[in-house]
Amino acid sequence: MDPLDQPLGGAEFAPKRTYLDTSSCGLLPRRTVEAVTLLAQETADGRPGGAGSFDVVAEARAAFARIAGVAPERVAVGSSVAVHCGMIAQSMPAGAEVLFPEGDFSSVITPFTIRGDLKTRFVPLERLAESVRPETALVAFSAVQSANGRTADFAAVREAASAHGARTLLDATQSAGWLPLDAGRWDYTVTGGYKYLLCPRGASFLTVTEEAQDSLLPIHANWVTGEELWANVYGPVRELARSASRFDEPVAFLSYHGAARSLTLLEEIGIERIEAHDKGLAARFRSGLLDLGHVPVMDDSTVVAVPGLGHRADSLHEAGVLLSTRAGNLRASFHLYNTAADVDRALEALAG
């Protein structure tokens, strides 16, 4: 295990504060800022071919595919988790039952509840697997809960869904980038890139298994979703892509030029190294909280929530320590650019 007194990523990061809020937004690596700045300047100068490169988008798709453990053909690129979930929700037949954990992130839930003709059911996270039943069509949940950092029982949910013939939708936004992701085990995964993947906001990834692909209606099909990219500029798309790229949104090039560089950095470091580093920092913080008389939510997660302490976020901010408040919890979230000194500074600020 790498020593916790040194960040991973070296000179790629230089935060000016003690930043413990990756669950809200990750810090951009230096190489990512340079890529976005270069494209913006080229576009201002008059860039040949328009506002960005589809080849760079393909690099980002392939890099995420490697991180997610699937082939690039199983990855669609887009702008947000809400859009991905909206397509899945709009593809479900009327009357279908969707099972969620209570208090999961709104962008995962609302696209389904807004339909009005789906049966939505909510249960405590710890009872998610046992609550799957024969009439359940889809189990939708976050790998790590945004409000409190709790991690789902992946194996139990997969087993229960398989036993009852339900499809699965995993939101990996709070986990991809520090927790290994095996996207092929889930019918669909959605991942916002702007947190632990360190991408600019506007880069988001959808994975779809080959078996589940025909279950989705590409409701935002457009000229880039064809099997041949430049054959569909005018008139209706002649043939949708045979891969998951049939679900692509028109690309936000600035976001994806940055995303390609951020994902490469994560690959260079290695998700397993990042997981050990992040969990080590979180464990140090939980131990220090207990010493101070504060009881955090206990979970083997890089996201640490302290119930009832959310009101301290403003005073910590004034002390130069950035955390967040979620559902009344004080929430700290650690990533590769953090060190043991960051943990200790936050604990000292809380003690003061």
Which CATH number belongs to the domain containing residue 143 in this structure? 3.40.640.10
Which of 245, 268, 291 marks a domain boundary? 268
Which pLDDT belongs to residue 352? 85
Do residues 240 and 137 share a domain?
Answer: yes
CB 108 within 8 A of CB 169: yes
Do residues 59 and 104 share a domain?
Answer: yes
Which pLDDT belongs to residue 93? 98
**Cα distance between residue 303 and residue 146, in whole Å:** 8
Q: Which residues contact 82 (CB under 8 A, 6 or more apart)?
A: 107, 110, 111
CB 20 within 8 A of CB 323: yes
Which pLDDT belongs to residue 298? 96
Do residues 243 and 126 share a domain?
Answer: yes
Do residues 325 and 251 share a domain?
Answer: no
Q: By residue range, what is the domain housing residue 336?
A: 10-29+270-351
Total domains in the chain come to 2
Do residues 168 and 239 share a domain?
Answer: yes
Do residues 241 and 158 share a domain?
Answer: yes
Which pLDDT belongs to residue 49? 80
CB 184 within 8 A of CB 133: no
Do residues 294 and 187 share a domain?
Answer: no
Which pLDDT belongs to residue 231? 87
Locate the DSSP E strands across the chain: 18-19, 75-78, 97-101, 119-123, 136-142, 167-171, 188-192, 204-208, 303-306, 321-322, 324-326, 329-333
Do residues 318 and 257 share a domain?
Answer: no
Which pLDDT belongs to residue 286? 98
DSSP state letter for 189: E
In a domain, 142, yes or no: yes
Do residues 99 and 131 share a domain?
Answer: yes
**Cα distance between residue 161 and residue 153, in whole Å:** 12
CB 86 within 8 A of CB 63: no
Stretches in the chain below the pLDDT threshold 50: none
Nearest CA to 223 out of 204, 198, 240, 199 is that of 240
